[in-house]
Amino acid sequence: MQTTLRGVGVSHGVAIGEVRHMGTAVLEPPAKQIPAEEAEREQGRARQAVEAVAADLVARGNLAGGEAQHVLEAQAMMAQDPELMADVDRRIAVGSTAERGVYDAFASYRALLAGAGEYLAGRVADLDDVRNRIVARLLGVPMPGVPDSDEPYVLIARDLAPADTALLDPTLVLGFVTEEGGPTSHSAILARALGVPAVVALPGAGELAEGTVIAVDGSTGEIFVEPSAEKRAEMESSAAARKAALLASTGPGATSDGHKVPLLANIGGPADVPAAVAAGAEGVGLFRTEFLFLDDSKQAPSEEKQIAAYRAVLEAFPEGRVVVRVLDAGADKPLDFLTPADEPNPALGVRGLRSLLDHPDVLRTQLTALAKAAEGLPVYLEVMAPMVADRADAKAFADACRAAGLQAKFGAMVEIPSAALRARSVLQEVEFLSLGTNDLAQYTFAADRQVGAVSRLQDPWQPALLDLVAMSADAAKAEGKSCGVCGEAASDPLLACVLTGLGVTSLSMGAASIPYVRSTLAKYTLAQCERAASAARAADSAEEARVAAQAVLSGE
């Protein structure tokens, strides 16, 4: 008998197949004591296991490339954390085995992360995965991970570590469903990059029996257990129609009555450019530059290295627009040379622009490298600062850009509610705004983007979040300036129409989402989008907002 479950749809598409569960986590190793003379040998075993796991994560990242590579390299750095390894050595020195020392040290570090504020608490799942891999290697048991199967299947997991998501084979893994996670978790972002349908934050997903046939709608978040023949036919027909529409949709983004809405790509480095170009991106709306700095947490990359990486991206979009976000360090992206090590709550501390203003040499080098990378190229370079709180922040950034001789537009990201509330003030210093809806939602609702239990508050359809978007767009219009969205909200085709109706002037997203947004936007007039936006803002919940907007656009 068909039953319906609902989670949070985070990656478009339909998947129908049998359930396969993620490999079980490593069991807790026994707490036995070792003689003192064995401590050095056990410490060596632990170090070898850590280095092997870190190397494996880096290798997986190199294979995956793009966004996945940056995430996995950050995980490798986590595995090799000096303080964590010192704790492992101490535990082994007083009698723990290598595997027990690793297990207990990671448990202690895990507790610190869980209580260290929103961003770092969101890294707990990544830390657990690193621990499991190290302990599995020490115990000589198979790594936890994606099951072996010769037949395509739908993967079910409590949560998916980046190392697993990055190398999913789309020909075998039709889609995946997790109990934890949210719309902006690492797994969700990587699923969109892979083009794999995915649903997260589904309570009880682990109770679905192995081999059960389910149908996953990655757009609506619906899961149909043992779907009827009629339901399967309906979903397959809908998926086929959507695919045909995507293939037929080409050219610049626009509403059906010709209102232009440039569709841009979010990228993490040169490796992401080919997919963006293939999807028809009109430029880059968010070039995350952290990938260059995560290679070595001890020092910033040289100006020459930065110039080469930036120019590779700029050359790919002649006559196009490329919006570069300067380094956003801190919180979940700590760097030894830049961010404080003892902040009680890094997500609310010295992060983003605050870190750069405390280290003006790092900011100056990056801005100078961008200026040199753009020399002689017919590209429209725009540079923006992360975590701008007020006009003073915006002025400090604009002044730094001018001092570096940067011939580009200067902008501010709206990720802190204060920047949306005082957008007209911020716009006295910069030439454009870019809404980072992931962090804006997180800070508006005090809801960690990695925690499934609060995923409803991370839903970009929340009317309060739409109010802040409207406020920012209205301010930009009043000042004769632009206001784009570069958060994951732009990847939802229906919400893209609403954002357009709110007055947003461009939309930036993962490359895989661009065709979906382009084809959906082309179905409606600007007036319809504006009416849908008004209906969504008048609602009292995210679900009501989504339903109200859909009703307007479908003519109900």
pLDDT at 59: 82
Q: Identify residue 292 by its one-letter amino acid code.
A: L
Give the CA distances from residue 389 to residues 346, 408, 448, 477, in Å, rounded to whole numbers and listed in that order. Answer: 16, 22, 19, 20
Catalytic residue among 186, 401, 483, 529: 186
pLDDT tens per residue across span 304-324:
999 999 999 999 998 889 999
Sign of the CA dihedral with 513 first, then 510, 263, and 419 last = positive
Residues 178 and 201 sit within 8 Å (Cβ to Cβ): yes
- Cα distance between residue 269 and residue 163, in whole Å: 19
Edge-to-edge strand order for the sheet containing 8-11?
Answer: 3-6, 222-225, 213-217, 14-21, 153-157, 173-178, 198-200, 8-11
| 401 carries an active-site annotation | no
pLDDT at 128: 81
pLDDT at 451: 64
Catalytic residue among 401, 483, 486, 529: 486
Residues of the chain with pLDDT under 70: 1, 24-27, 64, 66-67, 112-125, 142-144, 148, 166-167, 184, 186, 295-297, 330-334, 341-343, 449-453
| 483 carries an active-site annotation | no
Q: Which of helix, strand or coil describes residue 288?
A: strand
pLDDT at 127: 79
pLDDT at 118: 44
- Pick from 7, 10, 5, 6: nearest CA to 495: 10
pLDDT at 452: 58
pTM above 0.85, yes or no: no
pLDDT at 18: 94
